[in-house]
Structure 1
Amino acid sequence: MNERNPLRVGIVTLVVIGVVAAAVIVLSVSNFGTKSYTALLEHTAGLRKGEDVQVHGVISGKVTGIEIQDDHVEVRFALDSDISLGDRSTATVKVATLLGTHYLEVDPNGTGSLASNQIPLDRTSVPYNLQDVIEKGSDTLEELDPELLAKALTAMAGTLGASQEEIGPALEGVARLSEVVSKRSDQVGDLLASTRKVTDQLSASSQDIVGLMKQTNLVVGEITARREAIHRLLVETTDLSKALTAIVKSTDGKLEPALKDVRSVLDTLNSQDEQLSRLLENMAPAVRYVANATGSGPFLPLYLEPPAIPADDTTCKLEGTCQR
Protein backbone atom coordinates (compact mmCIF):
# COMPACT_ATOMS: atom_id res chain seq x y z
CA MET A 1 0.00 0.00 0.00
CA ASN A 2 2.96 2.32 0.69
CA GLU A 3 4.12 1.87 -2.90
CA ARG A 4 0.69 2.81 -4.32
CA ASN A 5 -0.49 6.37 -4.94
CA PRO A 6 -2.40 7.49 -1.79
CA LEU A 7 -4.59 9.82 -3.82
CA ARG A 8 -5.71 7.06 -6.14
CA VAL A 9 -6.34 4.67 -3.22
CA GLY A 10 -8.44 7.33 -1.45
CA ILE A 11 -10.51 8.00 -4.57
CA VAL A 12 -11.18 4.27 -5.09
CA THR A 13 -12.11 3.89 -1.43
CA LEU A 14 -14.56 6.79 -1.60
CA VAL A 15 -16.10 5.40 -4.76
CA VAL A 16 -16.58 1.95 -3.15
CA ILE A 17 -18.10 3.52 -0.05
CA GLY A 18 -20.45 5.59 -2.25
CA VAL A 19 -21.54 2.51 -4.22
CA VAL A 20 -22.19 0.57 -1.01
CA ALA A 21 -24.16 3.48 0.47
CA ALA A 22 -26.21 3.85 -2.72
CA ALA A 23 -26.93 0.08 -2.74
CA VAL A 24 -28.05 0.25 0.89
CA ILE A 25 -30.33 3.20 0.12
CA VAL A 26 -31.77 1.46 -2.94
CA LEU A 27 -32.38 -1.74 -0.99
CA SER A 28 -34.08 0.19 1.81
CA VAL A 29 -36.29 2.17 -0.58
CA SER A 30 -37.10 -0.54 -3.13
CA ASN A 31 -39.96 -2.91 -2.47
CA PHE A 32 -38.92 -6.34 -3.64
CA GLY A 33 -41.66 -8.96 -3.63
CA THR A 34 -44.36 -6.30 -3.33
CA LYS A 35 -46.82 -4.56 -5.62
CA SER A 36 -47.77 -0.88 -5.50
CA TYR A 37 -51.34 0.38 -5.20
CA THR A 38 -53.07 3.69 -4.55
CA ALA A 39 -56.14 4.57 -2.52
CA LEU A 40 -58.11 7.80 -2.78
CA LEU A 41 -59.18 9.13 0.65
CA GLU A 42 -61.35 12.06 1.70
CA HIS A 43 -58.55 13.07 4.10
CA THR A 44 -55.61 11.32 5.72
CA ALA A 45 -57.20 11.15 9.21
CA GLY A 46 -53.70 11.22 10.65
CA LEU A 47 -52.27 8.45 8.43
CA ARG A 48 -48.55 8.97 7.78
CA LYS A 49 -45.95 7.58 5.44
CA GLY A 50 -44.31 4.40 6.74
CA GLU A 51 -47.31 3.16 8.72
CA ASP A 52 -48.56 -0.39 8.29
CA VAL A 53 -51.02 -1.79 5.78
CA GLN A 54 -53.05 -4.71 7.15
CA VAL A 55 -55.10 -7.34 5.35
CA HIS A 56 -57.54 -9.21 7.61
CA GLY A 57 -55.58 -8.06 10.66
CA VAL A 58 -52.16 -9.19 9.31
CA ILE A 59 -49.44 -6.65 8.44
CA SER A 60 -48.89 -7.12 4.71
CA GLY A 61 -47.37 -3.83 3.51
CA LYS A 62 -46.40 -0.23 4.16
CA VAL A 63 -47.67 3.22 3.22
CA THR A 64 -45.08 4.55 0.76
CA GLY A 65 -46.39 8.01 0.03
CA ILE A 66 -49.17 10.57 0.52
CA GLU A 67 -50.03 13.23 -2.06
CA ILE A 68 -52.67 15.95 -1.79
CA GLN A 69 -54.96 16.36 -4.81
CA ASP A 70 -57.71 18.93 -5.51
CA ASP A 71 -60.53 17.41 -3.45
CA HIS A 72 -58.98 14.24 -2.01
CA VAL A 73 -55.76 12.63 -0.82
CA GLU A 74 -53.91 9.96 -2.81
CA VAL A 75 -52.24 7.37 -0.60
CA ARG A 76 -49.66 5.07 -2.18
CA PHE A 77 -48.92 1.77 -0.47
CA ALA A 78 -46.96 -1.40 -1.20
CA LEU A 79 -48.58 -4.80 -0.61
CA ASP A 80 -47.14 -8.31 -0.70
CA SER A 81 -47.25 -9.63 -4.26
CA ASP A 82 -49.00 -12.84 -3.22
CA ILE A 83 -52.11 -10.81 -2.21
CA SER A 84 -54.43 -9.98 -5.10
CA LEU A 85 -56.91 -7.13 -4.84
CA GLY A 86 -60.25 -7.73 -6.61
CA ASP A 87 -62.38 -5.21 -8.45
CA ARG A 88 -64.43 -4.42 -5.29
CA SER A 89 -61.57 -4.02 -2.82
CA THR A 90 -61.95 -1.43 -0.04
CA ALA A 91 -59.58 0.57 2.14
CA THR A 92 -60.16 2.10 5.59
CA VAL A 93 -57.95 4.22 7.82
CA LYS A 94 -58.09 2.95 11.41
CA VAL A 95 -56.55 4.00 14.70
CA ALA A 96 -53.87 1.57 15.92
CA THR A 97 -53.09 2.93 19.40
CA LEU A 98 -54.18 5.72 21.71
CA LEU A 99 -50.86 7.47 21.01
CA GLY A 100 -52.11 8.47 17.56
CA THR A 101 -50.67 5.79 15.29
CA HIS A 102 -52.80 4.57 12.42
CA TYR A 103 -52.84 1.84 9.83
CA LEU A 104 -54.54 1.26 6.50
CA GLU A 105 -56.94 -1.72 6.49
CA VAL A 106 -57.35 -3.20 2.99
CA ASP A 107 -60.08 -5.73 2.25
CA PRO A 108 -59.47 -7.62 -1.06
CA ASN A 109 -63.08 -8.17 -2.24
CA GLY A 110 -64.46 -8.98 -5.67
CA THR A 111 -63.09 -10.95 -8.58
CA GLY A 112 -60.51 -10.26 -11.27
CA SER A 113 -57.97 -7.52 -10.68
CA LEU A 114 -58.17 -3.96 -9.39
CA ALA A 115 -58.59 -1.44 -12.23
CA SER A 116 -55.49 0.77 -12.58
CA ASN A 117 -54.31 -0.63 -9.19
CA GLN A 118 -56.37 2.13 -7.57
CA ILE A 119 -59.13 1.95 -4.94
CA PRO A 120 -61.63 4.75 -5.78
CA LEU A 121 -62.97 7.30 -3.33
CA ASP A 122 -66.40 5.63 -3.01
CA ARG A 123 -64.80 2.45 -1.59
CA THR A 124 -62.60 4.10 1.05
CA SER A 125 -63.48 5.48 4.47
CA VAL A 126 -61.72 7.40 7.23
CA PRO A 127 -62.45 7.76 10.96
CA TYR A 128 -63.91 10.94 12.42
CA ASN A 129 -61.58 13.79 13.13
CA LEU A 130 -62.20 15.01 16.69
CA GLN A 131 -61.18 18.58 15.88
CA ASP A 132 -63.66 18.78 12.98
CA VAL A 133 -66.43 17.38 15.15
CA ILE A 134 -65.70 19.92 17.90
CA GLU A 135 -65.57 22.85 15.47
CA LYS A 136 -68.82 21.88 13.73
CA GLY A 137 -70.63 21.15 16.99
CA SER A 138 -69.55 24.23 18.95
CA ASP A 139 -72.45 26.36 17.68
CA THR A 140 -74.95 23.64 18.55
CA LEU A 141 -73.45 23.19 22.01
CA GLU A 142 -73.82 26.90 22.74
CA GLU A 143 -77.59 26.68 22.11
CA LEU A 144 -78.08 23.86 24.64
CA ASP A 145 -79.54 24.54 28.09
CA PRO A 146 -76.87 23.29 30.56
CA GLU A 147 -79.32 22.78 33.45
CA LEU A 148 -81.78 20.84 31.33
CA LEU A 149 -78.91 18.84 29.82
CA ALA A 150 -77.61 18.02 33.29
CA LYS A 151 -81.05 16.78 34.37
CA ALA A 152 -81.31 14.65 31.23
CA LEU A 153 -77.87 13.17 31.79
CA THR A 154 -78.72 12.46 35.44
CA ALA A 155 -81.94 10.70 34.42
CA MET A 156 -80.08 8.74 31.76
CA ALA A 157 -77.38 7.73 34.23
CA GLY A 158 -80.02 6.48 36.67
CA THR A 159 -81.75 4.51 33.93
CA LEU A 160 -78.48 3.01 32.73
CA GLY A 161 -77.49 2.13 36.27
CA ALA A 162 -80.77 0.32 36.87
CA SER A 163 -80.51 -1.63 33.61
CA GLN A 164 -76.76 -2.17 33.40
CA GLU A 165 -77.16 -5.96 33.25
CA GLU A 166 -79.36 -5.71 30.14
CA ILE A 167 -77.34 -2.95 28.41
CA GLY A 168 -74.19 -5.08 28.06
CA PRO A 169 -75.80 -7.88 26.01
CA ALA A 170 -77.77 -5.28 24.03
CA LEU A 171 -74.59 -3.41 23.08
CA GLU A 172 -72.91 -6.70 22.16
CA GLY A 173 -75.85 -7.53 19.93
CA VAL A 174 -75.66 -4.11 18.26
CA ALA A 175 -71.93 -4.57 17.72
CA ARG A 176 -72.46 -8.00 16.14
CA LEU A 177 -75.23 -6.62 13.97
CA SER A 178 -73.00 -3.76 12.83
CA GLU A 179 -70.22 -6.23 12.02
CA VAL A 180 -72.59 -8.42 10.00
CA VAL A 181 -73.96 -5.40 8.11
CA SER A 182 -70.42 -4.19 7.42
CA LYS A 183 -69.31 -7.59 6.09
CA ARG A 184 -72.49 -8.04 4.05
CA SER A 185 -72.55 -4.53 2.61
CA ASP A 186 -71.95 -5.77 -0.94
CA GLN A 187 -74.74 -8.35 -0.66
CA VAL A 188 -77.09 -5.74 0.84
CA GLY A 189 -76.27 -3.44 -2.08
CA ASP A 190 -77.03 -6.22 -4.57
CA LEU A 191 -80.28 -6.97 -2.73
CA LEU A 192 -81.35 -3.33 -2.88
CA ALA A 193 -80.45 -3.19 -6.58
CA SER A 194 -82.53 -6.32 -7.25
CA THR A 195 -85.40 -4.82 -5.25
CA ARG A 196 -85.17 -1.67 -7.36
CA LYS A 197 -85.37 -3.80 -10.53
CA VAL A 198 -88.48 -5.57 -9.23
CA THR A 199 -90.06 -2.22 -8.36
CA ASP A 200 -89.27 -0.85 -11.82
CA GLN A 201 -90.77 -3.98 -13.41
CA LEU A 202 -93.94 -3.64 -11.36
CA SER A 203 -94.15 0.05 -12.22
CA ALA A 204 -93.72 -0.71 -15.94
CA SER A 205 -96.39 -3.43 -15.78
CA SER A 206 -98.88 -1.38 -13.75
CA GLN A 207 -101.21 -0.92 -16.74
CA ASP A 208 -101.26 -4.66 -17.42
CA ILE A 209 -101.99 -5.37 -13.76
CA VAL A 210 -104.85 -2.83 -13.76
CA GLY A 211 -106.26 -4.42 -16.94
CA LEU A 212 -106.05 -7.86 -15.35
CA MET A 213 -107.90 -6.59 -12.30
CA LYS A 214 -110.60 -5.14 -14.56
CA GLN A 215 -110.99 -8.47 -16.34
CA THR A 216 -111.26 -10.15 -12.94
CA ASN A 217 -114.03 -7.73 -12.02
CA LEU A 218 -115.87 -8.70 -15.22
CA VAL A 219 -115.58 -12.40 -14.37
CA VAL A 220 -116.85 -11.80 -10.84
CA GLY A 221 -119.73 -9.71 -12.20
CA GLU A 222 -120.70 -12.45 -14.67
CA ILE A 223 -120.65 -15.07 -11.92
CA THR A 224 -122.81 -12.80 -9.77
CA ALA A 225 -125.25 -12.32 -12.65
CA ARG A 226 -125.48 -16.08 -13.16
CA ARG A 227 -125.91 -16.77 -9.46
CA GLU A 228 -129.70 -17.05 -9.71
CA ALA A 229 -129.50 -19.49 -12.64
CA ILE A 230 -126.95 -21.61 -10.77
CA HIS A 231 -129.17 -21.52 -7.67
CA ARG A 232 -132.20 -22.60 -9.72
CA LEU A 233 -130.19 -25.44 -11.31
CA LEU A 234 -129.11 -26.69 -7.90
CA VAL A 235 -132.71 -26.52 -6.58
CA GLU A 236 -134.07 -28.43 -9.58
CA THR A 237 -131.31 -31.02 -9.29
CA THR A 238 -132.25 -31.51 -5.64
CA ASP A 239 -135.94 -31.91 -6.57
CA LEU A 240 -135.02 -34.44 -9.29
CA SER A 241 -132.97 -36.50 -6.85
CA LYS A 242 -135.86 -36.49 -4.40
CA ALA A 243 -138.28 -37.61 -7.16
CA LEU A 244 -135.96 -40.44 -8.25
CA THR A 245 -135.64 -41.53 -4.64
CA ALA A 246 -139.43 -41.59 -4.28
CA ILE A 247 -139.82 -43.63 -7.52
CA VAL A 248 -137.28 -46.18 -6.37
CA LYS A 249 -138.99 -46.48 -2.99
CA SER A 250 -142.47 -46.82 -4.60
CA THR A 251 -141.35 -49.56 -7.02
CA ASP A 252 -139.16 -51.41 -4.59
CA GLY A 253 -141.70 -54.27 -4.15
CA LYS A 254 -142.28 -54.65 -7.91
CA LEU A 255 -138.68 -54.51 -8.96
CA GLU A 256 -137.58 -57.28 -6.61
CA PRO A 257 -139.43 -60.16 -8.47
CA ALA A 258 -138.18 -58.83 -11.82
CA LEU A 259 -134.65 -58.71 -10.56
CA LYS A 260 -135.01 -62.29 -9.29
CA ASP A 261 -136.22 -63.43 -12.77
CA VAL A 262 -133.35 -61.62 -14.42
CA ARG A 263 -130.96 -63.30 -12.00
CA SER A 264 -132.41 -66.77 -12.84
CA VAL A 265 -132.09 -66.04 -16.59
CA LEU A 266 -128.47 -65.05 -16.11
CA ASP A 267 -127.81 -68.22 -14.13
CA THR A 268 -129.35 -70.33 -16.94
CA LEU A 269 -127.30 -68.55 -19.60
CA ASN A 270 -124.15 -68.98 -17.57
CA SER A 271 -124.86 -72.73 -17.18
CA GLN A 272 -125.46 -73.08 -20.97
CA ASP A 273 -122.50 -70.94 -21.89
CA GLU A 274 -120.42 -73.84 -23.24
CA GLN A 275 -123.24 -75.17 -25.46
CA LEU A 276 -124.03 -71.69 -26.76
CA SER A 277 -120.38 -71.13 -27.58
CA ARG A 278 -120.20 -74.44 -29.49
CA LEU A 279 -123.45 -73.59 -31.34
CA LEU A 280 -122.07 -70.23 -32.42
CA GLU A 281 -118.85 -71.87 -33.62
CA ASN A 282 -120.79 -74.42 -35.73
CA MET A 283 -123.25 -71.84 -37.06
CA ALA A 284 -120.52 -69.55 -38.29
CA PRO A 285 -119.47 -71.70 -41.35
CA ALA A 286 -123.09 -72.47 -42.29
CA VAL A 287 -124.07 -68.81 -42.12
CA ARG A 288 -121.01 -67.90 -44.16
CA TYR A 289 -121.93 -70.45 -46.88
CA VAL A 290 -125.54 -69.24 -46.99
CA ALA A 291 -124.30 -65.64 -47.28
CA ASN A 292 -121.97 -66.62 -50.13
CA ALA A 293 -124.84 -68.51 -51.93
CA THR A 294 -127.23 -65.57 -51.72
CA GLY A 295 -124.61 -62.96 -52.48
CA SER A 296 -125.18 -62.96 -56.32
CA GLY A 297 -128.85 -61.91 -56.16
CA PRO A 298 -132.13 -62.14 -54.29
CA PHE A 299 -132.31 -65.89 -54.76
CA LEU A 300 -130.74 -69.09 -53.56
CA PRO A 301 -129.26 -71.28 -56.36
CA LEU A 302 -129.40 -75.07 -55.88
CA TYR A 303 -127.26 -77.58 -57.74
CA LEU A 304 -128.63 -81.15 -57.96
CA GLU A 305 -127.82 -84.16 -60.16
CA PRO A 306 -130.21 -84.94 -63.06
CA PRO A 307 -131.90 -87.91 -61.38
CA ALA A 308 -133.18 -85.49 -58.77
CA ILE A 309 -134.59 -83.09 -61.39
CA PRO A 310 -135.35 -84.62 -64.88
CA ALA A 311 -134.11 -82.92 -68.02
CA ASP A 312 -136.42 -80.78 -70.20
CA ASP A 313 -136.93 -83.37 -73.08
CA THR A 314 -137.84 -86.12 -70.68
CA THR A 315 -140.40 -83.92 -69.06
CA CYS A 316 -142.06 -82.94 -72.35
CA LYS A 317 -142.28 -86.55 -73.56
CA LEU A 318 -144.03 -87.57 -70.42
CA GLU A 319 -146.41 -84.65 -70.64
CA GLY A 320 -146.86 -84.85 -74.47
CA THR A 321 -145.94 -81.22 -74.97
CA CYS A 322 -142.72 -81.64 -76.93
CA GLN A 323 -142.42 -79.50 -80.06
CA ARG A 324 -139.95 -79.53 -82.85
Structure 2
Amino acid sequence: MTFRAQILGAAAGGGLPQWNCGCENCNLARSGAIPAQTQSSVAFSANGKDWAILNASPDIREQMARTPALHPTGRRELPLRSVLLTNGDIDHVAGLLTLREQQKFELFATGEIHQVIADNPIFAALNPAFVTRSQISLDQEFELAKGLTAKLFAVPGKVPLYLEGDSVQTDLEGEQTVGVHLSAGGKNVFYIPGCSTMHTDLHARIDGADMVLFDGTLWRDDEMVIAGLSQKTGQRMGHMSMSGPDGSLEAFADMDVKQKVFVHMNNTNPVLRPTSEEKKQVEAAGWTVACDGLELVI
Protein backbone atom coordinates (compact mmCIF):
# COMPACT_ATOMS: atom_id res chain seq x y z
CA MET A 1 0.00 0.00 0.00
CA THR A 2 1.39 3.41 -1.04
CA PHE A 3 0.12 6.50 0.70
CA ARG A 4 0.03 9.39 -1.81
CA ALA A 5 -0.59 13.10 -1.44
CA GLN A 6 -1.08 15.24 -4.54
CA ILE A 7 -0.83 19.00 -4.11
CA LEU A 8 -3.62 20.41 -6.28
CA GLY A 9 -3.18 24.02 -5.15
CA ALA A 10 -0.41 25.43 -2.95
CA ALA A 11 -1.50 29.05 -2.57
CA ALA A 12 -3.82 30.72 -0.10
CA GLY A 13 -7.04 32.49 -1.10
CA GLY A 14 -6.60 34.52 -4.28
CA GLY A 15 -3.83 32.32 -5.65
CA LEU A 16 -0.63 33.53 -7.32
CA PRO A 17 -0.95 35.88 -9.07
CA GLN A 18 -3.93 37.32 -7.26
CA TRP A 19 -6.18 39.08 -9.76
CA ASN A 20 -5.95 42.55 -8.19
CA CYS A 21 -2.45 42.47 -6.72
CA GLY A 22 0.67 44.13 -8.07
CA CYS A 23 3.10 42.89 -5.42
CA GLU A 24 6.52 41.57 -6.40
CA ASN A 25 5.47 37.93 -6.39
CA CYS A 26 2.31 38.49 -8.42
CA ASN A 27 4.15 40.51 -11.06
CA LEU A 28 6.87 37.85 -11.29
CA ALA A 29 4.23 35.13 -11.68
CA ARG A 30 2.43 37.08 -14.40
CA SER A 31 5.66 37.41 -16.34
CA GLY A 32 6.47 33.72 -15.94
CA ALA A 33 9.58 34.43 -13.86
CA ILE A 34 8.24 32.31 -10.96
CA PRO A 35 5.60 29.57 -11.05
CA ALA A 36 1.97 30.56 -10.65
CA GLN A 37 0.02 28.68 -7.97
CA THR A 38 -3.69 27.90 -7.60
CA GLN A 39 -5.69 27.99 -4.39
CA SER A 40 -5.38 25.56 -1.51
CA SER A 41 -6.36 21.93 -2.08
CA VAL A 42 -4.76 18.48 -1.63
CA ALA A 43 -5.82 15.01 -2.80
CA PHE A 44 -4.96 11.84 -0.86
CA SER A 45 -5.10 8.15 -1.75
CA ALA A 46 -4.05 4.92 -0.05
CA ASN A 47 -4.06 2.85 -3.25
CA GLY A 48 -3.68 5.26 -6.18
CA LYS A 49 -7.22 4.43 -7.37
CA ASP A 50 -9.58 5.87 -4.78
CA TRP A 51 -9.03 9.54 -3.97
CA ALA A 52 -10.26 12.09 -1.45
CA ILE A 53 -9.91 15.83 -1.99
CA LEU A 54 -9.35 17.99 1.05
CA ASN A 55 -10.85 21.45 0.51
CA ALA A 56 -12.67 22.30 -2.70
CA SER A 57 -10.70 25.19 -4.17
CA PRO A 58 -12.34 27.69 -6.56
CA ASP A 59 -9.69 26.41 -9.02
CA ILE A 60 -10.71 22.77 -8.70
CA ARG A 61 -11.76 22.31 -12.34
CA GLU A 62 -8.30 23.32 -13.56
CA GLN A 63 -6.60 21.35 -10.79
CA MET A 64 -8.42 18.11 -11.58
CA ALA A 65 -7.91 18.56 -15.33
CA ARG A 66 -4.15 18.64 -14.92
CA THR A 67 -4.04 15.70 -12.46
CA PRO A 68 -4.30 12.42 -14.41
CA ALA A 69 -5.01 10.41 -11.26
CA LEU A 70 -8.33 12.28 -10.93
CA HIS A 71 -9.44 11.99 -14.56
CA PRO A 72 -12.65 10.12 -15.45
CA THR A 73 -12.26 6.39 -15.98
CA GLY A 74 -15.57 6.15 -17.85
CA ARG A 75 -18.34 8.39 -19.14
CA ARG A 76 -19.48 9.33 -15.64
CA GLU A 77 -16.98 7.43 -13.52
CA LEU A 78 -14.34 9.10 -11.42
CA PRO A 79 -11.72 7.96 -8.90
CA LEU A 80 -12.99 10.75 -6.61
CA ARG A 81 -14.70 9.19 -3.60
CA SER A 82 -15.05 12.11 -1.19
CA VAL A 83 -14.41 15.75 -0.40
CA LEU A 84 -13.52 16.93 3.10
CA LEU A 85 -13.68 20.55 4.31
CA THR A 86 -11.39 21.88 7.06
CA ASN A 87 -13.24 25.20 7.37
CA GLY A 88 -15.85 27.32 5.65
CA ASP A 89 -13.47 29.77 3.94
CA ILE A 90 -14.40 30.76 0.40
CA ASP A 91 -11.13 29.36 -0.97
CA HIS A 92 -12.04 25.97 0.54
CA VAL A 93 -15.75 25.67 -0.31
CA ALA A 94 -16.38 27.59 -3.55
CA GLY A 95 -15.14 24.66 -5.64
CA LEU A 96 -18.13 22.62 -4.48
CA LEU A 97 -20.19 24.54 -7.04
CA THR A 98 -17.96 23.16 -9.80
CA LEU A 99 -18.64 19.64 -8.49
CA ARG A 100 -22.41 20.00 -8.88
CA GLU A 101 -22.62 18.09 -12.19
CA GLN A 102 -24.56 15.07 -10.89
CA GLN A 103 -21.44 13.27 -9.74
CA LYS A 104 -21.57 10.90 -6.80
CA PHE A 105 -19.25 11.59 -3.87
CA GLU A 106 -19.45 12.00 -0.10
CA LEU A 107 -18.99 15.41 1.49
CA PHE A 108 -17.39 15.23 4.94
CA ALA A 109 -17.27 18.11 7.44
CA THR A 110 -18.05 18.96 11.04
CA GLY A 111 -21.56 19.95 11.97
CA GLU A 112 -20.67 23.65 12.15
CA ILE A 113 -19.02 23.66 8.72
CA HIS A 114 -21.96 21.77 7.23
CA GLN A 115 -24.25 24.41 8.74
CA VAL A 116 -22.30 27.15 6.94
CA ILE A 117 -22.93 25.28 3.67
CA ALA A 118 -26.58 24.64 4.49
CA ASP A 119 -27.19 28.31 5.33
CA ASN A 120 -26.21 29.36 1.81
CA PRO A 121 -28.91 28.26 -0.65
CA ILE A 122 -26.54 28.28 -3.62
CA PHE A 123 -25.04 25.02 -2.34
CA ALA A 124 -28.40 23.34 -2.91
CA ALA A 125 -26.95 22.87 -6.40
CA LEU A 126 -25.25 19.81 -4.91
CA ASN A 127 -27.97 17.28 -5.65
CA PRO A 128 -28.55 15.13 -2.52
CA ALA A 129 -29.31 12.19 -4.82
CA PHE A 130 -25.60 12.21 -5.70
CA VAL A 131 -23.79 14.06 -2.90
CA THR A 132 -24.12 12.62 0.58
CA ARG A 133 -23.42 15.13 3.34
CA SER A 134 -21.80 13.31 6.25
CA GLN A 135 -21.41 15.09 9.57
CA ILE A 136 -18.26 14.14 11.46
CA SER A 137 -17.64 14.74 15.16
CA LEU A 138 -14.21 15.76 16.39
CA ASP A 139 -11.88 12.82 17.12
CA GLN A 140 -14.25 10.39 15.38
CA GLU A 141 -12.41 7.99 13.04
CA PHE A 142 -14.05 7.39 9.67
CA GLU A 143 -13.18 6.03 6.22
CA LEU A 144 -12.39 8.85 3.80
CA ALA A 145 -11.60 6.61 0.83
CA LYS A 146 -10.77 2.93 0.45
CA GLY A 147 -7.96 2.06 2.85
CA LEU A 148 -7.71 5.66 4.06
CA THR A 149 -9.05 6.64 7.47
CA ALA A 150 -9.31 10.13 8.89
CA LYS A 151 -9.96 11.90 12.16
CA LEU A 152 -10.78 15.60 12.60
CA PHE A 153 -9.48 17.66 15.50
CA ALA A 154 -9.79 21.29 16.54
CA VAL A 155 -6.95 23.71 15.84
CA PRO A 156 -6.81 27.39 16.89
CA GLY A 157 -8.35 29.63 14.24
CA LYS A 158 -11.32 31.85 13.48
CA VAL A 159 -14.62 31.86 11.63
CA PRO A 160 -14.60 32.66 7.89
CA LEU A 161 -14.19 36.34 6.96
CA TYR A 162 -17.81 36.60 5.77
CA LEU A 163 -19.05 35.43 9.19
CA GLU A 164 -16.94 37.80 11.28
CA GLY A 165 -18.72 40.12 13.69
CA ASP A 166 -17.53 43.25 15.48
CA SER A 167 -15.27 41.15 17.70
CA VAL A 168 -13.12 38.37 16.24
CA GLN A 169 -11.50 35.58 18.22
CA THR A 170 -8.49 34.33 16.28
CA ASP A 171 -7.60 31.40 18.54
CA LEU A 172 -11.05 29.85 18.65
CA GLU A 173 -10.97 26.07 19.07
CA GLY A 174 -14.00 24.08 17.99
CA GLU A 175 -15.59 22.81 14.80
CA GLN A 176 -15.02 25.89 12.60
CA THR A 177 -11.30 25.23 11.95
CA VAL A 178 -10.01 21.66 12.00
CA GLY A 179 -6.95 19.66 11.17
CA VAL A 180 -7.06 16.17 9.68
CA HIS A 181 -5.19 13.08 10.87
CA LEU A 182 -4.95 10.66 7.94
CA SER A 183 -3.89 7.04 8.37
CA ALA A 184 -3.12 4.29 5.86
CA GLY A 185 -0.80 1.29 5.91
CA GLY A 186 0.59 2.20 9.31
CA LYS A 187 1.55 5.72 8.14
CA ASN A 188 0.26 8.88 9.80
CA VAL A 189 -0.13 12.22 8.01
CA PHE A 190 -1.53 15.50 9.31
CA TYR A 191 -3.10 18.18 7.11
CA ILE A 192 -3.42 21.57 8.84
CA PRO A 193 -3.80 24.40 6.29
CA GLY A 194 -4.94 26.95 8.87
CA CYS A 195 -3.61 27.39 12.41
CA SER A 196 -3.11 30.52 14.52
CA THR A 197 -1.16 29.08 17.47
CA MET A 198 0.85 25.96 18.30
CA HIS A 199 -0.63 24.81 21.58
CA THR A 200 1.02 22.07 23.63
CA ASP A 201 -1.74 19.56 22.87
CA LEU A 202 -1.40 20.14 19.12
CA HIS A 203 2.39 19.82 19.42
CA ALA A 204 1.98 16.48 21.18
CA ARG A 205 -0.59 15.25 18.67
CA ILE A 206 1.58 15.74 15.58
CA ASP A 207 4.98 14.92 17.09
CA GLY A 208 6.21 11.64 15.58
CA ALA A 209 4.17 11.92 12.38
CA ASP A 210 5.38 10.56 9.05
CA MET A 211 4.33 13.80 7.36
CA VAL A 212 2.75 17.12 8.31
CA LEU A 213 1.33 19.53 5.74
CA PHE A 214 1.09 22.80 7.65
CA ASP A 215 -0.13 26.39 7.34
CA GLY A 216 2.50 28.43 5.49
CA THR A 217 0.42 31.55 4.84
CA LEU A 218 2.95 34.24 5.70
CA TRP A 219 6.71 34.42 6.23
CA ARG A 220 6.34 37.14 8.89
CA ASP A 221 3.33 38.35 10.83
CA ASP A 222 3.35 41.93 9.48
CA GLU A 223 4.17 40.90 5.91
CA MET A 224 1.07 42.34 4.27
CA VAL A 225 1.26 45.55 6.34
CA ILE A 226 4.87 46.19 5.27
CA ALA A 227 3.94 45.48 1.66
CA GLY A 228 1.25 48.16 1.86
CA LEU A 229 -1.47 45.69 0.91
CA SER A 230 -3.47 45.35 4.13
CA GLN A 231 -3.64 46.45 7.75
CA LYS A 232 -4.17 42.87 8.87
CA THR A 233 -1.41 40.81 10.42
CA GLY A 234 -1.17 37.06 10.05
CA GLN A 235 -2.47 36.61 13.57
CA ARG A 236 -5.51 38.77 12.79
CA MET A 237 -6.21 36.48 9.82
CA GLY A 238 -5.90 33.39 12.04
CA HIS A 239 -2.54 32.14 10.75
CA MET A 240 0.85 31.44 12.32
CA SER A 241 3.81 32.87 10.45
CA MET A 242 6.78 30.76 9.40
CA SER A 243 9.47 32.91 11.04
CA GLY A 244 9.89 34.49 14.46
CA PRO A 245 9.86 33.13 18.02
CA ASP A 246 6.16 32.18 17.76
CA GLY A 247 6.44 30.93 14.19
CA SER A 248 6.10 27.43 12.81
CA LEU A 249 9.82 26.94 12.12
CA GLU A 250 10.49 27.41 15.82
CA ALA A 251 7.43 25.39 16.87
CA PHE A 252 8.54 22.36 14.85
CA ALA A 253 12.23 22.61 15.72
CA ASP A 254 12.04 19.98 18.50
CA MET A 255 9.48 17.71 16.81
CA ASP A 256 10.20 14.32 15.27
CA VAL A 257 8.37 14.68 11.94
CA LYS A 258 9.82 12.80 8.99
CA GLN A 259 8.47 15.10 6.24
CA LYS A 260 7.39 18.70 6.79
CA VAL A 261 5.56 20.52 4.01
CA PHE A 262 4.28 24.08 3.93
CA VAL A 263 0.94 24.61 2.15
CA HIS A 264 -1.49 27.55 1.78
CA MET A 265 1.11 30.27 1.00
CA ASN A 266 -0.15 33.82 0.58
CA ASN A 267 0.78 35.57 -2.67
CA THR A 268 3.12 37.88 -0.72
CA ASN A 269 5.18 35.11 0.89
CA PRO A 270 8.82 35.32 -0.29
CA VAL A 271 9.23 31.52 -0.10
CA LEU A 272 7.23 31.37 -3.34
CA ARG A 273 10.32 32.78 -5.08
CA PRO A 274 12.50 29.71 -5.74
CA THR A 275 15.82 31.51 -5.11
CA SER A 276 14.80 33.67 -2.14
CA GLU A 277 16.80 33.64 1.09
CA GLU A 278 13.61 32.86 2.99
CA LYS A 279 13.05 29.69 0.98
CA LYS A 280 16.65 28.67 1.61
CA GLN A 281 16.06 29.11 5.36
CA VAL A 282 12.92 26.98 5.20
CA GLU A 283 14.66 24.21 3.29
CA ALA A 284 17.66 24.33 5.66
CA ALA A 285 15.21 23.64 8.50
CA GLY A 286 14.02 20.50 6.70
CA TRP A 287 10.84 21.84 5.12
CA THR A 288 9.46 21.49 1.62
CA VAL A 289 7.54 24.42 0.14
CA ALA A 290 4.61 22.89 -1.73
CA CYS A 291 3.85 23.82 -5.32
CA ASP A 292 1.02 22.92 -7.65
CA GLY A 293 1.43 19.39 -9.01
CA LEU A 294 3.83 18.20 -6.30
CA GLU A 295 3.33 14.51 -5.51
CA LEU A 296 4.36 13.22 -2.10
CA VAL A 297 4.72 9.50 -1.43
CA ILE A 298 4.86 8.22 2.12
Normalised TM-score (structure 2): 0.19
Larger Rg: 1
Structure (1 or 2) with the greater helix fraction: 1
* Structure with larger RCO (C-alpha < 8 A, sep 6+): 2
Q: TM-score, normalised by structure 1?
A: 0.18
